[in-house]
Structure 1
Amino acid sequence: MPELAIRTTDIPGLLVIDLVLNGDARGWFKENWQRAKMTDLGLPDFAPVQNNMSFNTATGVTRGLHAEPWDKLVSIAHGRVFGAWVDLRTGEGFGRVVTVELGPETAVFVPRGVANGYQTLVDDTVYSYLVNDHWSPQSRGSYSYLNLADEAAAIAWPIPLASATISEADAGHPRLAQARPVPPKRTVIIGAGGQLGRALDELLPDAVGLDLPDFDLTRQDVVDAVDWSGVGTIINASAYTAVDLAETPEGRRAAWAANVDGVARLCRVAAEHRITLVHVSTDYVFDGTAEEHDEDEPFAPLGVYGQTKAAADILVGQLARHYIVRTSWVIGAGKNFVRTMVELAARGVSPTVVDDQYGRLTFTTDLAAGIVHLLASDAPFGTYNLSNTGPVQSWAQIAAAVFALCGRSPDDITPTTTDAYAAGKLVSPRPVHSALKLDKLLATGFTPLPAADRLAAYLATITP
């Protein structure tokens, strides 16, 4: 008894599926699309939304070659065809050809950007295909085409094209040298002007950056105005981060609007357009009782900011395609704790710094690189802790290290307690322990540099 099987081809992502035909004297039955079984064997969970069928009355009907802006699963309901596919995606595989003869027992998964064509081998052939976007007249503008007779592709059609039935439109498609390469799906960075957003922009120069004041996640009309078609990844590097002001009535509303309502809008966009959403989270979702936090620790936020970030994590976690990247004590371009200590050291100030909160710094250089790594390596979707490596330190210990690197005595830092520092001030409660366990991240093949190494390199790039 044959078994369902999936075979790779010379075109990356183009897969041949050997289907099982259960037949008797009456005919046959097959599972043409069976999500659970096929995805277990490696077929992408491509979420089809439309089924199209093409009836071809005669042998020799030849259609294509069209690279459409969606993935498709092609199969034969009746008859046989000679199928041909040409990779029109940008990259070294551009122009690569694969051909397969298809009957009811065979299907092919065709990824976006690979041109699809076929020639019927018998009369009354019914060609069927599932696609994961709705066709519209406007979508034709996103197609890329290749001529069936292209000499570079040199497809060995069983029936000579001079004897085949071809539409005027298909006969007029361009040769490979003039074909429009299909670019990869775009990456959009939300919060592109922030510390992390700027670091991501350096690593992803082709990404589209969105930020205030033009892009406001708290406004549905602004989110709806963006053309999300052709977007493959959204990286949400934005957040309301005024931790102490979030404890005020106005700040509480602003924090929930940006960190929860805004993220909910991104989740709806991601679900509708099958976009991978990368969302940056925080150690503030925990109460800090554990000395180090793993990804599975239950939420127990102490303040409003942490509550909004925990709520957003729950929303993002419902998406099939998501990465929640949880981080702590972020340092990058712009205002931050290290830069403040550098400025105080230069001015001759000897500050008092909290010595009973413990964690690790996260430099945006490593945070951005870790996010890009997760995406590029196709790491399993889910939550990953990401900070720099090295010993756990208090804020006062970090401040002392900064002073030493600036030529000041570490003894010029006066340690204090959180309670003493917060006396008489509007201060949100903070977790005592913020260090994150990195085992899950390290298992993907990414190891951030020690925080001490990054600190020294960071100070060399800034002036007080």
Structure 2
Amino acid sequence: MASKRSTRRRGSDGVTEYGKQLKVTDTPIPGLVVFDLPVHGDARGWFKENWQREKMTALGLPDFGPVQNNISFNDAVGTTRGIHAEPWDKWVSVATGRIFGAWVDLREGPTFGAVYTTELDPSKAIFVPRGVGNSYQTLEPNTAYTYLVNDHWSPTAEYSFLNLADETAAIDWPIPLDQVEISEKDKNHPRLADVVPIPPKKILIIGANGQLGSALRTSYAGVRHVEFADRSSLSLLSPDLLSSRNWGDYGTIINAAAYTKVDAAETSDGRRVAWATNVSGVARLAQIATMNKITLVHVSSDYVFDGSLERPYREDDPVCPLGVYGQTKAAGDAIVSTVPQHFIVRTSWVVGDGHNFVRTMTSLASRGVDPTVVDDQFGRLTPAADIARSIRHLLESGAPFGIYNVTGGGDVLSWAEIARRVFMSAGHDPARVAGVTTAAYYASTDGAVSPRPRNSVLDTTKIVSTGFTLGDALI
């Protein structure tokens, strides 16, 4: 074998450099990266690791999960193919021979139309993200062009194309296009001005009519690649959920659907629905996300804790739910944590559009009703809009996957203290609000009652460290 020092093999098939270190080089097209590959050779020939998941992902390559390997063999010098933007990621390299490759960004965004060119021989490879147009021209006879893709070919897949001779891209082909072999189809692809930019993979928001769903609708208003689904259009319990969509078209699922009737969950009927929605339905989403390499965003609750700690709860504190609702949320969290690409957004005391505590207190104040409110449970109100904002932040900032606590900012208060502030902000006497213990409040309640955590304060240090700014207190 050759020594570790870089050497070159010269022959009729050109030059292949031996002994390089595995190295990654960025390009002007986001996500398009070139790898130098170690090739080991001697008089018998050469050997290389063309794809090595552990080493390459350690250098920052996305763990793109290839499922198919294709090889295009080209007899003659000057064979030219492209420019094709497929709906999957590609790992492109050369087994024998040498190519001139050209890549054009055909995705929506500020780099639409950006061009990158380079030569590839067996000692180089390139990762081509979905939506980046790919093309090449052979520079040696008997060139074998090989590529891994992370989706199976489908006749219904949507492609985008660019003409090889497009004047805007202005690719400097080593061999003029009028002197090379090109298919009629490739000759007739559109110019850049006529190419419709490829949108990102779709985002599906489930539970789009709830408090958080409404906030997400507002946050993503006008974003073309976002879909909203309510119970009428998508049920997590539907027997055909796995086949209800072409899940390969989706990059993110945001699950804002949940059974949240805390007290009703303690009844036999409520328990059944809570487990079906918060656990069985979530398990099916996790299966879909894992199978299709989708990022799953799941919203959790302070009810996974028993509230006995004397400090704010961190993301890594062991769960210890008191009631059925909390048990189902903890089980859902455990399932989602097995998805390779996941965010669990854990929150508390959510207020948004529709019925909520602040609106109830405001109504009571205006109607002259003096309420009795629990004063031994503590936490922070969390606007649904802040949760929606945190989800977009996590998805768009490159934050590491995992669990993040998200609440509103401001003081830690009891429900009674919040009620008094609502009264005051509405111009009423806060002394009209009387405090009462949780035990006394529910002592005369008919029907099932779920135990509540006394301490619902969540430590938000982790999400703040990603650059997220907590919202101001509502009152």
TM-score by length of 1: 0.96
Structure 1, residues 287-307: CA drift from partner, whole Å, max 9, x if none? 111131000001100000000
Question: Deviation at 1:175?
Answer: 1.0
Aligned to 1:224: 243
Amino acid at match of 1:165: E
**In 2, distance between residues paired with 1:407 and 1:120?**
78
CA RMSD of aligned residues (A): 1.0
Q: How does 1:426-445 map to 2 (within 5 A)?
A: 426-445=448-467
Aligned to 1:200: 216
**In 2, distance between residues paired with 1:127 and 1:210?**
42
Aligned to 1:98: 116
Decide which of 308, 325, 346 is 1:289's aligned counterpart: 308
Q: How does 1:156-171 map to 2 (within 5 A)?
A: 156-171=172-187
Query: Which region of structure 1 is more displaced relative to structure 2, 272-281 or 220-229?
Result: 220-229
Question: Deviation at 1:165?
Answer: 0.8
**In 1, distance between residues paired with 2:239 and 2:343?**
23
Matched, 1:392 2:408: no
Amino acid at match of 1:341: M
Aligned to 2:9: none
Amino acid at match of 2:214: R
**In 2, distance between residues paired with 1:50 and 1:265?**
25
Amino acid at match of 2:61: L
Partner of 2:240: helix, strand, or coil?
A: helix
User: Compared with structure 1, are the counterparts of its residues 381 and 356 closer, same or farther at alpha carbon in structure 2 (3 Å cutoff)?
Assistant: same
Amino acid at match of 1:22: H
**In 1, distance between residues paired with 2:42 and 2:283?**
51
Q: How does 1:137-176 map to 2 (within 5 A)?
A: 137-139=155-157, 142-176=158-192
Matched, 1:11 2:29: yes
Question: Deviation at 1:171?
Answer: 1.1
Aligned to 2:198: 182
Partner of 1:33: helix, strand, or coil?
A: coil
Partner of 2:247: helix, strand, or coil?
A: coil
**In 2, distance between residues paired with 1:170 and 1:125?**
20
Query: Which region of structure 1 is more displaced relative to structure 2, 89-98 or 302-311?
Result: 89-98
Matched, 1:53 2:71: yes
Partner of 2:386: helix, strand, or coil?
A: helix
Partner of 2:394: helix, strand, or coil?
A: helix
Judge conservation of contact 1:145–1:180 (CA < 8 Å) in 2: no
Matched, 1:250 2:308: no
Question: Deviation at 1:314?
Answer: 0.6
Query: Which region of structure 1 is more displaced relative to structure 2, 246-255 or 24-33?
Result: 24-33
Matched, 1:362 2:377: no
Judge conservation of contact 1:85–1:115 (CA < 8 Å) in 2: yes
Question: Deviation at 1:226?
Answer: 2.7
Partner of 1:251: helix, strand, or coil?
A: helix
Judge conservation of contact 1:215–1:223 (CA < 8 Å) in 2: no
- Contiguous gaps of at least 5 residues in structure 2: 5-19
Question: Deviation at 1:327?
Answer: 0.2
Question: Deviation at 1:180?
Answer: 2.4
Structure 1, residues 114-161: CA drift from partner, whole Å, max 9, x if none? 00000000111101000000001111xx10001111111111111111
Aligned to 1:40: 58
Aligned to 1:446: 468
Matched, 1:414 2:430: no
**In 1, distance between residues paired with 2:242 and 2:439?**
41
Aligned to 1:135: 153
Q: What is the aligned-residue identity percentage?
A: 60
What stretches of structure 1 move > 6 A for 4+ residues in a row? none
**In 2, distance between residues paired with 1:331 and 1:223?**
32
Query: Which region of structure 1 is more displaced relative to structure 2, 171-180 or 103-112?
Result: 171-180
Aligned to 1:215: 234
Partner of 2:156: helix, strand, or coil?
A: helix
User: Compared with structure 1, are the counterparts of its residues 37 and 181 closer, same or farther at alpha carbon in structure 2 (3 Å cutoff)?
Assistant: same
Query: Which region of structure 1 is more displaced relative to structure 2, 153-162 or 63-72?
Result: 153-162
Aligned to 1:235: 254
Structure 1, residues 154-213: CA drift from partner, whole Å, max 9, x if none? 111111111111111111111111122111112111111111111111111222110123
Question: Deviation at 1:214?
Answer: 2.6
Amino acid at match of 1:40: A
Aligned to 2:15: none
Q: How does 1:279-428 map to 2 (within 5 A)?
A: 279-290=298-309, 291-425=311-445, 426-428=448-450
**Residue correspondences, number:** 451
- Contiguous gaps of at least 5 residues in structure 1: 456-464
Question: Deviation at 1:398?
Answer: 0.5
Amino acid at match of 2:31: G
Question: Deviation at 1:59?
Answer: 0.7
Aligned to 1:458: none
**In 1, distance between residues paired with 2:233 and 2:115?**
44
Question: Deviation at 1:223?
Answer: 5.2
Question: Deviation at 1:366?
Answer: 1.2
Partner of 1:383: helix, strand, or coil?
A: strand
Partner of 1:138: helix, strand, or coil?
A: coil
Structure 1, residues 391-443: CA drift from partner, whole Å, max 9, x if none? 21110100111111111111111100111111143210111100000110110
Partner of 1:229: helix, strand, or coil?
A: helix
Judge conservation of contact 1:217–1:223 (CA < 8 Å) in 2: no
